[in-house]
Structure 1
Amino acid sequence: MQNMTNQLKTIKIMNVNFINATKDIFLKNHIYPSLMNEHKQFIVTANPEIVMKARENEQYEQAIHSADYVVPDGAGILMAAKYMKLPLQERIAGYDLMLDLLEFVNDKGLSCFFLGAKEEVNEKAVLEVEKRFPNINIAGRHHGFFKLDDQELVEKVQNANADIVFVALGLPRQELWIARHSEQFQKGIFMGVGGSLDVLAGEVNRAPEIWIKLNLEWLYRLLKQPFRLKRILKVFEFMVRIVFRKS
């Protein structure tokens, strides 16, 4: 994919280069022009869990390094950067980034493909997009239950020729899928969006605004979804490694 990270300042945290820009500048100066010029790009919205997974899995690390942009999604990333005296300008939440992209695509009459989540969740999310963003061309959709090397699925996405492909397979599958098949696409913004389709579909509620502003969205999710405890522990391990500068 076209690598344009040299146009943005980056900060390296545990061998992952994060862009250091506001969401508005990132979108207006880099992503929106890429969309209009049909450039192909890969965006990773990375939190501490993704950074830790990249540290533990070489294949996944290579997938992250192949991205054109890694944006700081997660309070832990901002805390780590601040502790390292390399402060990031702001958190760029993946869900917010997706909504801004949908608004832009709606304004320009462009197209999107929605890949991932359960079939019923995917369907509900797309129906919600159609309701909220009526000018978007839904190029296609597909649930997230498939093998990463399913070539028929790749061809389906290819034939859709979408301007944006939102990939909601969770880590590490979404980044691995994009990295593995990127060379088979001619254009498109490819972005891993984790559980964002569940939020769009109304299956999961996002944290109230005050929790988000206080960088406590992770705590809200833990209280609502106790099964996330193992994932939260990875965040604490990440911070310990930052503090003690462990590899």
Structure 2
Amino acid sequence: MSAVALSLTGITKRYRNTTVLGPLSLELEKGRIYGLIGENGAGKSTLIRIIMGLSKQTDGDIELFGRSGEGDLTLARANVGYVPDSSASYPLLSAYDNLKARCLEWGIDQNQIPRLLDTVGLAQVGTKKARSFSLGMRRRLDLAVALLGEPRMLVLDEPTNGLDPLGTMEMRNLIKRLNADRDITVIISSHNLAELNRIADEYLVLSAGSLIARLSSSDVRGDSPNDLEDLYASIVLKGQIGTPRKPGGHYAR
């Protein structure tokens, strides 16, 4: 069985005569955590929308868990859980009923709801309305929704944005545990590079719609959580933009 979870070949997105992404090619391995980083307008959101099928690429091919073509990709995307950059929970519903509503919408077994609430640390407040939750609790509820159906991949857009230090730590530990226990491939788009440096195995650096670097955790040397920020600055701000780098500090050809 292939170790590749996601393969993108020549992915391009254009709006009229403006190219906002690509051409971009990459492969992501199963069971790893990837940090997707770049300035505003770098193409991160566009790439996520294409992966999730929320936007159609202009050119290029996608293969997800060995499936390609529109019909097969629709089936494959059922194995991908998505947490958007702002909470998508229903504020007037309880945590339990938020999950139940999604189960009914997607035709998913409701028996998993208690287990998922326990997984994200909301079992004790499952009957409380989401509007009473802290931001950190709402983000964990969003993650529980993304985990419905036992996905093989998670795509998380700014999962710690706005969280206090404790909420950030809880989310970080939860993501790492899910990755370790379930071998889930995780893609995290975030501006919080210090936090990504604590969790990701590999980093994909986008700028102006192009993949300009691909770094492994071993490329980010040192013990400071700011090491990734420093390396990112050296690549982007100082103009050290070559062809995308492979893990280990080598440039991809």
Taking structure 2 as the reference length, the TM-score comes to: 0.34
More helix by share: 1
Higher strand share: 2
Instruction: Report the TM-score when normalising by structure 1.
Output: 0.34
